[in-house]
Structure 1
Amino acid sequence: MVIELLPMGLRGLMMSVMIAALMSSLTSIFNSASTIFTMDLWRHIRPRSSEWELMIVGRVFVLVLVVVSILWIPIVQASQGGQLFIYIQSISSYLQPPVAVVFIAGCFWKRTNEKGAFWGMTIGLTVGLIRMVLDFVYAAPQCDQPDTRPEIVKYVHYLYLSMILGLLTLVVVVAVSLWTDPPSNEMISRLTWFTRFDSSAASPKETTSPRSTPNSVSETDNITGQPDTTSSDDIFTKTKEDGTSWCSHLKRAILWLCGMDKREGDKHSPEAPDALEPADVLLYEDSTKTRVLNINLILCTSAAVFLWAYFG
């Protein structure tokens, strides 16, 4: 439609805007997924990994995501008649409602606990994934062909299913949270809407040393009692018998392309960071800014809901 209706000059401009928006969304998704994999998964596999290794793992994971995205293109073309917008909206309707409901419940209901959020997210995403798989298995027939798809696929639109998923997730979160123990006041302090003004100072009894936690990594080896001098950088470099480190030209080229070429002379002592302002100062807003932001929020939300309902 864009290519057919717009004049010659505006076609390229509109395509540039659409491609820029798509690139922005993809880079945000790739960065978020890379951060989750690197910080939440890779650090559990290698607790002593350095920042250098974490950066390489994150960039390699982004490359893997790019390859998977390219391989996923035929599936996008085969589903929803090859219409990318409908495909994106349907996938979002299957996967986003459980996440949104759990987030909103955690912000506005102090009784929400970890078990309620876990089971609500699990059940909601499971139902959404089942419906997504059914859409891939049972493709929409042509206009002159009979529709033999299951009733849940044939009669339940993906926007209706998003509302069903939201209600189902909310029921599970509320039921499990009420059935299990509530979170303590320290766990929800300054994290919900009703506790956002709580004092951030923790009592001395609740503050524990990082070394006393069972999940913390000890500074000494568990068997010998000696400090662990091995570094995770050893997986990227080799050492000769005389002690001088060397690296192949291919490996240097790869590290240079990743922006991670490491030399002996590049090690500088990190400068002390500037003093950060307290959280109370950073989160403060005067009444005028608060009113303006709230009015803009209402206008933008109303416009988005209207456009979604009208064109959906």
Structure 2
Amino acid sequence: MLELLLEPLSYTFMVRALLVTTTAAVVCGVISCWLVLIGWSLMGDAVSHAVLPGVVLAYIAGVPFAIGAFVFGLLAVVLIGTVRDTSRVKEDAAIGVVFTTLFALGLVLISVTPSQTDLNHILFGNVLGVSRSDVVQVLVIGAIALTLLLLKRRDLMLYAFDKTQAHAVGLSPRRLGALLLGLLALTTVVALQAVGVVLVVAMLITPGATAYLLTDRFSRMLILAPALSGLSAVMGIYVSYYADASSGGMVVLTQGALFALVYLLAPRHGLLAARAGRTLRSRQRRAARA
């Protein structure tokens, strides 16, 4: 058993993969708590896909991918807000129009950009091929995003539960929303290195959804979500190594499998517990009538 655990760590690329993926998973796990509570799953999807043209343009300009991804992530948020606020189009439709258009732009840029690098790795991730500079970049950006989320967690929690109360105590809901969207864009940049554009949204939503089924307290969600996400990252990387499968895909699949288990077996909000509770209440009502 010990040999199975230690063998992958003898390879530098596996150590880097574990470091990058675990960092991305923990940061995504923390921000996913707010995305799930506020109902911003579609926004996470939009930002994660809209960064694609920014990454390609950054490659063309010879600047770090993170810069292009972050700029286009913020651009997507601004465009969605503009379309929503200046037309009859509702937010979900604005999100759909903006993110699909920007994602399509990215696909077109990939198809016409001559490159010695396989730009399709941007779509599906290439965590086993990350360089030392990529690892440093992920650690630094991840640390910044996580620090800001934890420092502002009380304000952001109030924003998620009651914007009116947040305004009453002197906070600006607009600024807090903008901060959270900016951190979402920053977190997306971190996760890109691990799973690529296509699967980022799963890392942004699944951990929070899983933790939401396990607890009614937000403070516990902030612990459970990154812990479960980090565990899924490590398990996914190890399974992909021995199964010779896609690392990013296996990490997300592990998160999905963990969600399925919690969905069925969670002690209070799981499907089986809910059915057992309904059956018990039905028996109690029948007994009371008898």
TM-score, normalized by the shorter chain, greater than 0.5:
no
Greater helix share, structure number: 2
Query: Whose RCO is larger (CA < 8 A, sep 6+)?
Result: 2
Report the TM-score, using the length of structure 2 for normalisation: 0.29
Structure whose alpha-carbon radius of gyration is higher:
1
Report the TM-score, using the length of structure 1 for normalisation: 0.27
